[in-house]
Amino acid sequence: WSKTGHRVTGHIAEKHLTRKARKAVDDLLDGHSLAFASTFADEIKADRSFSMFSPWHYVNYPLNLRYEDSEKSKFGDVVMGIENCKRILTDKTSSKENKVFYLKMLIHLIGDMHQPMHASRGDDRGGNDIQIQWFDEGTNLHRLWDSNLINSYGMTYYELGDELEGSVAKKEIRILQAGTIYDWVDETHQLAAEVYDSIRVGEKLRFKYAYKYNDMLFKQLQKGGFRLAKVLNEIFS
Ligand code: ADE
Ligand code: ZN
Ligand code: ZN
């Protein structure tokens, strides 16, 4: 996702932390919000000394396979990235500085894992090589899902986050939080197949596309938020 998607994810998770997780997160983030911390992993991309973390934002594998049955990248991927963050955050010997870094990384990666084009296929670099039009603007399938669709609502992250958080019943939250990161990545990967089928190369997309896919978009942002809270609650309980 781009900034708004990540902040929406953080904003939704914020309201679902246990007391213990709340305290640990406040301590590590120096009182800043999850939304504020959520974009850190993209900000450090400009610094080449952090380039080893770039493959952690996504995973590519054949659309007919499950993650666990696919060939893994030796550079890491979003699943390995999340596992690494969890390991460092639960290791009593980790320094506070490391915990701060990997917490900010984790908040971001749980979000990215729910963007269909971040659990996609390698041939087209997660849709980056598939050119399309969004109204009168040239874009690609990856960017359409990172930002064009979200931005078309013209809402701030806290408006969209409040809207998406507030419209889910308690019982439904538990259902969205079920499963492991291995289930979640395969679920996103299945949606990637739908997204690839949703367009023709060079096609000009308008509101009709947003209307058709807004349920999927909103559901993915909600899952990212509620599941981020679950992961943090497990780490800090
Ligand atoms: N580069 C290669 N594959 C990618 C993906 N799925 N998402 C983002 N960047 C990528
Ligand atoms: Zn992206
Ligand atoms: Zn990212």
In a domain, 144, yes or no: yes
Could you tell me if 116 and 194 are in contact, meaning their C-beta atoms sit under 8 angstroms apart? yes
What is the per-residue pLDDT across 137-163, written as a single tens digit (0 to 9) for each?
999 999 999 999 999 999 999 999 999
Are β-strands 59-60 and 131-134 bridged in parallel, bridged antiparallel, or unpaired? unpaired
**Quick check: is 92 in a domain?**
yes
Domain assignment of residue 21, given as a range = 3-122+133-236
From the CA of 2, how far away is ligand 2's center (Å)? 7
In a domain, 127, yes or no: no
Domain CATH for 113:
1.10.575.10
Our mutation pick for probing the ligand 1 site, out of 1, 6, 53, 57, counting the most ligand atoms within 8 A of Cβ, is: 57
Q: Write out pLDDT tens, residues 96-116.
A: 999 999 999 999 999 999 999
pTM, 2 dp: 0.98
Q: How far apart are CA 74 and CA 55, in angstroms?
A: 10
Low-confidence ranges of the chain (pLDDT < 70): none
Number of domains in the chain: 1
Supply the pLDDT for residue 52.
Answer: 97
Question: For ligand 1, is residue 143 a contact (CB within 6 Å)?
Answer: no
